[in-house]
Amino acid sequence: GESVGLHLPTLSVQEGDNSIINCAYSNSASDYFIWYKQESGKGPQFIIDIRSNMDKRQGQRVTVLLNKTVKHLSLQIAATQPGDSAVYFCAETSYGGSQGNLIFGKGTKLSVKP
Amino acid sequence: KAGVTQTPRYLIKTRGQQVTLSCSPISGHRSVSWYQQTPGQGLQFLFEYFSETQRNKGNFPGRFSGRQFSNSRSEMNVSTLELGDSALYLCASSLAISAGANVLTFGAGSRLTVL
């Protein structure tokens, strides 16, 4: 498959374990944050988002935590499965602003061992 | 419902040539954005179109251009190709241009290699 990034930080977890992927965002004025998943040979896929008026948001097997004090975002994946293997990107922007103002992080590669 | 379709998926060009990439958004989506993805720089915004008008542009040289047609399909063009233009070019569509209310749906990308 196509390589999204050759020098990405990598997180390796055992199938069934929980995964935590971290992201530090850059702009204290950002108030909307999104996590994307990119599998080999595919484009990024929306996972979950959160606005700055929340600290936590849960989806199906995923939870996003936001710490505005230290400008930190994390994505927790419960009971990680082989299909979760991918590169995960966080993105920040202003809610209601142009999609073009989305700033993507460099990404973290998640590798799930069966 | 069909996703975002990008063509061609792979192409090889030589320095100095030009290239045109095509993107068909999800039916009903009127906003199309283009991104360049490289291992070194990650995902970088190129431009955004809505209703055939460029609404926003990233920090790329004028060799990079685009357009959107009345059916919302979009093309981007890169002229006078340089080695550094080798990248995965991603197109994303959404109902409208504002972030938050409209989730971006990405295509699989066009992988450009410049020799």
* Cα(B91)–Cα(B25) distance, integer angstroms: 8
pLDDT per position as a tens digit, A28-87? 999 999 999 999 999 999 999 999 999 999 999 999 999 999 999 999 999 999 999 999
Whether B87 contacts B44, CB under 8 Å: no
Between residues B28 and B102, the one the model is more confident about: B28
Q: Tokens 């068909």 map to which residue?
A: B24
d(CA B10, CA A13): 32
Q: Three-state DSSP class for A67? A: strand
**Across chain A, what does the average pLDDT equal?**
91
Q: What is the pLDDT of residue A3?
A: 44
More confident residue, A106 or B99: A106
Predicted confidence (pLDDT) at residue A5 exceeds the cutoff of 60: no
Sequence-distant (6+) residues with CB within 8 A of B100 are: A32, A49, A51, A93, A95, A96
Identify which has the larger pLDDT, A103 or B22: B22
DSSP B29: -
What CA–CA distance (Å, rounded) separates B18 from B22? 14
| pLDDT for position A6 | 53
Strand-pair category, B53-57 with A10-14: unpaired
Instruction: Select from A3, A42, A100 the Cβ nearest to the Cβ of B48.
Output: A100
Judged by a CB distance cut-off of 8 A, whether residue B28 touches chain A is no
What does the DSSP 8-state code read for residue B70?
T
In contact, B37 and B88? CB cutoff 8 Å: yes
pLDDT at A1 > cutoff 50 = no
Helix (H) or strand (E) holding A47: strand A45-51
B47 touches chain A (CB under 8 A): yes
Nearest Cα of chain B lies from the Cα of A56 at a distance, in angstroms, of: 16
**What is the pLDDT at residue A101?**
77
Tell whether B24 is within 8 A of chain A (Cβ). no
